[in-house]
Structure 1
Amino acid sequence: MCGRYAASRGPEDLAALFEVEKWEPAETLAPDWNVAPTKQVPAVLARPLKEEDADPRRPVRQLRPLKWGLVPSWSKTPEGGARMINARAETVHEKPSYRRAFAARRCLLPADGYYEWVTGAEERQLEERGRRKRPRKQPYFVTPADGSVFAMAGLYEFWRDRTLPDDHPGAWWVTCTVITTEAETAPLAVPPAEGPRSLADIHPRMPLMLTPDRWEAWLDPARTDVDGLRELLAPPPEGLMRAFPVSTAVSNVRNNGPELLKELEGPEEETLF
């Protein structure tokens, strides 16, 4: 799954990387090294502009802030959004909560990488024997080995709060979800000195990273063929990622800063999640 990630690139960098045509400086988000569900996150999407002189048929690539945790358009309340932060690539096209967005509202969610927590073998054994209620968990940061952007496949949706008037700034929610896939079993490009040797050793699932050659097709709202879109959700080539242990400070969502990405020589000791 993906429950926490880092997104520290500025809008100028993201606009250049994703060939964005439209972004509003007033919507700029601060760098975030501890992105958690329900936060506003940067997203790249393609939609026609509503401006008077704009072509209503031409999709324009935009950089927009979206709320992480998808709320389906038909939902009566937004409360369930915090639980809908991930959608499985294998079933996203058919699940009622996601299938409409999959057909027409796809996006890219830029990240530096994502965090995942690993429970050591000794702690797992103690937990199974009932001798430790809270096993020690070591956070790892997973990121492209070459330092490139981690472009997560995502979906977005519009939800109307019927309790508010049309002109209220909170009348419309724009929310998103991260698509996940099975984690790679191949060795990491740069394995850590200690600990997991593959992404599957860290967690059985991972965010689905789209390589640049698939960005245009994924963002194109004119593409609605389900089978063709599902082909775009193939996992990226193996061996692109590296993972390394980071401070357990990231386990607290109140902690935020570049120090969270500092690579440790090995897992921390005597620290509870």
Structure 2
Amino acid sequence: MCGRYAASRGPEDLAGIFEVEKWDVAETLEADWNVAPTKDVYAVLDRPLRGSDDTRPVRQLRVMRWGLVPGWAKSPEMGVKMINARAETVHEKSSYRRPFASRRCLLPADGYYEWVTPPQQVPGAEDPKPKRGRRQPYFVTPADGGVMAMAGLYEFWRDRTLPGEHPRAWWVTCTVITTEAETTPLAGDTGEGGPASLAEIHPRMPLVLTPDRWDAWLDPGRDDPEEIRELLVPPPPGSVRAYPVPSTVSDVRNNGPELVTELSGPEEATLF
């Protein structure tokens, strides 16, 4: 799955990378090294401009809330449980079927975090209960230092308790599409005793799209589910590296570039 990621690039940088034609300065977000569900995030999408008679899709950088709320939902609270959508079934599920057909986006990231739980310690005669170590966070990031473009979906939700002109009457929310984690060797060194593949870190991973698939993925005119599913192909093996980072990232209240500091190896486990 993907439950936490880092996104430090500013709108000017993202506009250049994704060839964005329109973004609102008023929606500028601060760099965030600990993006968590329900936070506002940047999303790249192709869609006609709001309030324009021109129906031509325009490449935009928009701010959305992470955690998709289906249009039919009675409240936005269910978005907390819908931060990820499985690539294998995203075209079938009622919550994702419609946005998969026409409301697809890219969610830019520096990389994402996953936690590895050490194996249980073998109990001794004096302590018969098995013990486990503290979970070690790893940061997964493009091996070339570039942007990670996670495939996503977005949706609009209308809060019927508010008048239409209210600034919070409409919510725009999103989700990250995930797939099975790669079993191929990671690029670089994960430290002594570190995982050899993404699958050893977590069985799922965000589905990252390479630049040659961006335009087709974002095209709202492409609405054949089977044709769209063909785009959901992970990047080539060795495209990402993973390394251990400070456990302070586990607390969402912590935020700063120090959270992605590369450690020489897993932090010393504290048994409890």
How does the TM-score come out when normalised to structure 2? Answer: 0.95
Q: Does 1:203 find its partner at 2:173?
A: no
Amino acid at match of 1:35: V
Q: Does 1:131 find its partner at 2:120?
A: no
Alpha-carbon distance, 1:130 to partner: 4.9
Amino acid at match of 1:90: E
SS in 2 for 1:121: coil
Alpha-carbon distance, 1:234 to partner: 1.5
CA RMSD of aligned residues (A): 1.5
Alpha-carbon distance, 1:116 to partner: 0.1
> What is the alpha-carbon distance in structure 1 between the residues aligned to residue 66 and residue 154 of structure 2?
9
Alpha-carbon distance, 1:121 to partner: 2.2
How does the TM-score come out when normalised to structure 1? Answer: 0.94
Aligned to 1:237: 236
SS in 1 for 2:61: strand
Aligned to 1:263: 262
Alpha-carbon distance, 1:65 to partner: 0.6
Q: Does 1:23 find its partner at 2:23?
A: yes
Partners of 1:248 and 1:271 within 8 A in 2: no
Provide the identity percentage: 73
Alpha-carbon distance, 1:131 to partner: 3.2
> What is the alpha-carbon distance in structure 2 between the residues aligned to residue 99 and residue 250 of structure 1?
33
Once the two structures are superposed, the pairs formed by residues 160-179 of structure 1 within 5 Å of their partners are: 160-179=158-177
> What is the alpha-carbon distance in structure 2 between the residues aligned to residue 33 and residue 150 of structure 1?
14
Aligned to 1:144: 142
Q: Does 1:41 find its partner at 2:44?
A: no
Once the two structures are superposed, the pairs formed by residues 214-233 of structure 1 within 5 Å of their partners are: 214-233=213-232
> What is the alpha-carbon distance in structure 2 between the residues aligned to residue 4 and residue 272 of structure 1?
24
Residues 12/104 of structure 1: CA separation in 2 closer, same or farther (3 Å cut): same
SS in 1 for 2:265: coil
SS in 1 for 2:152: strand
Q: Structure 1, unaligned stretches of length 5 or more?
A: none
> What is the alpha-carbon distance in structure 2 between the residues aligned to residue 271 and residue 225 of structure 1?
51
SS in 1 for 2:59: strand
Alpha-carbon distance, 1:41 to partner: 0.4
Partners of 1:156 and 1:177 within 8 A in 2: yes
Partners of 2:66 and 2:174 within 8 A in 1: yes
> What is the alpha-carbon distance in structure 2 between the residues aligned to residue 50 and residue 113 of structure 1?
31
Alpha-carbon distance, 1:235 to partner: 1.7
Partners of 1:40 and 1:68 within 8 A in 2: yes
> What is the alpha-carbon distance in structure 2 between the residues aligned to residue 165 and residue 121 of structure 1?
54
Aligned to 1:103: 101
> What is the alpha-carbon distance in structure 1 between the residues aligned to residue 78 and residue 166 of structure 2?
22
Partners of 2:120 and 2:130 within 8 A in 1: no
Amino acid at match of 1:183: A
Alpha-carbon distance, 1:192 to partner: 1.2
SS in 2 for 1:141: strand
Partners of 2:157 and 2:171 within 8 A in 1: yes
Aligned to 1:183: 181
> What is the alpha-carbon distance in structure 2 between the residues aligned to residue 33 and residue 105 of structure 1?
26
Moved over 3 A (4+): 129-132, 270-273
Amino acid at match of 1:213: D
Amino acid at match of 2:180: E
Aligned to 1:87: 85
> What is the alpha-carbon distance in structure 1 between the residues aligned to residue 170 and residue 129 of structure 2?
47
Q: Does 1:248 find its partner at 2:247?
A: yes
Partners of 2:69 and 2:76 within 8 A in 1: yes
Aligned to 1:70: 68
Alpha-carbon distance, 1:136 to partner: 1.2
Partners of 2:119 and 2:133 within 8 A in 1: no
Q: Structure 2, unaligned stretches of length 5 or more?
A: none
Q: Deviations over 1:5-31 (max 9, x none)?
A: 000000000000000000011100000
Once the two structures are superposed, the pairs formed by residues 113-128 of structure 1 within 5 Å of their partners are: 113-123=111-121
Aligned to 2:3: 3
SS in 1 for 2:50: coil
Amino acid at match of 1:148: G
Amino acid at match of 1:73: G
Alpha-carbon distance, 1:272 to partner: 7.2
